[in-house]
């Protein structure tokens, strides 16, 4: 019986120490995050109440809520990284996979064998930024290494035009 009590006390002590450190870590955080129910009004008329995320005074509202409040259809096209409110445009642009294929088709003969061709990001105009690079292992024992860039390409999402960052 005595060993069970010691085990219980040891477990509670360890648990208390862990919980105390979690509370302290949270207490030390300066970020204010809340979930709040907010009333949404359009031209003075309440449309609905929905839960939103508020982080440091900035509201993050689900797109479905915006669609309901404005009574506008919402369509998501994640292949093209597009969100449509209302009418869908006739030119939705190319997909990320199509942008990669365009770069491979145009520059494939110049790209050294074994190099990777990947979407790196999307710029502020919605264009795809494609990184062509290789991974160079510097230390085979540890696997440490770096990337060596061949080129960066910007592919216009709506015209398909490709611009090289390095002119060869």
73 and 83 Cβ atoms separated by less than 8 Å = no
Q: Please report, in tens digits, the pLDDT of each residue of the chain (168 residues total).
A: 566 555 555 555 555 555 554 444 555 567 788 888 989 888 899 989 999 999 988 989 999 999 999 999 999 999 888 999 999 999 999 999 999 999 999 999 999 999 999 999 999 999 999 999 999 999 999 999 999 999 999 999 999 999 999 875
Residue 148: what are its φ and ψ, rounded to 5°?
Answer: -120, 120
3-state secondary structure at position 42? strand
- The pTM score is 0.65
Question: What span, in angstroms and rounded, lies between the C-alpha atoms of 48 and 28?
Answer: 36
Question: What span, in angstroms and rounded, lies between the C-alpha atoms of 86 and 75?
Answer: 8
Question: What span, in angstroms and rounded, lies between the C-alpha atoms of 126 and 155?
Answer: 9
């Amino acid at each position: 019986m005595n060993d069970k009590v010691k085990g219980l006390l040891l477990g509670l002590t360890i648990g208390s120490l862990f919980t105390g450190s979690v509370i302290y870590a949270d207490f030390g955080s300066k970020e204010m995050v809340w979930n709040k129910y907010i009333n949404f009004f359009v031209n003075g008329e309440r449309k609905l109440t929905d839960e939103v995320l508020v982080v440091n005074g900035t509201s993050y509202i689900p797109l479905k809520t915006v669609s309901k409040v404005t009574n506008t259809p919402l369509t998501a096209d994640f292949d093209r990284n597009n969100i449509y409110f209302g009418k869908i445009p006739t030119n939705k642009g190319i997909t990320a996979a199509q942008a990669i294929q365009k770069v491979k088709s145009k520059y494939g003969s110049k790209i050294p064998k074994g190099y990777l061709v990947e979407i790196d990001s999307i710029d502020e105009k919605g264009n795809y930024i494609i990184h062509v690079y290789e991974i160079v292992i510097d230390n085979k024992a540890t696997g440490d290494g770096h990337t060596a860039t061949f080129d960066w390409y910007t592919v216009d999402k709506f015209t398909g035009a490709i611009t090289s960052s390095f002119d060869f």
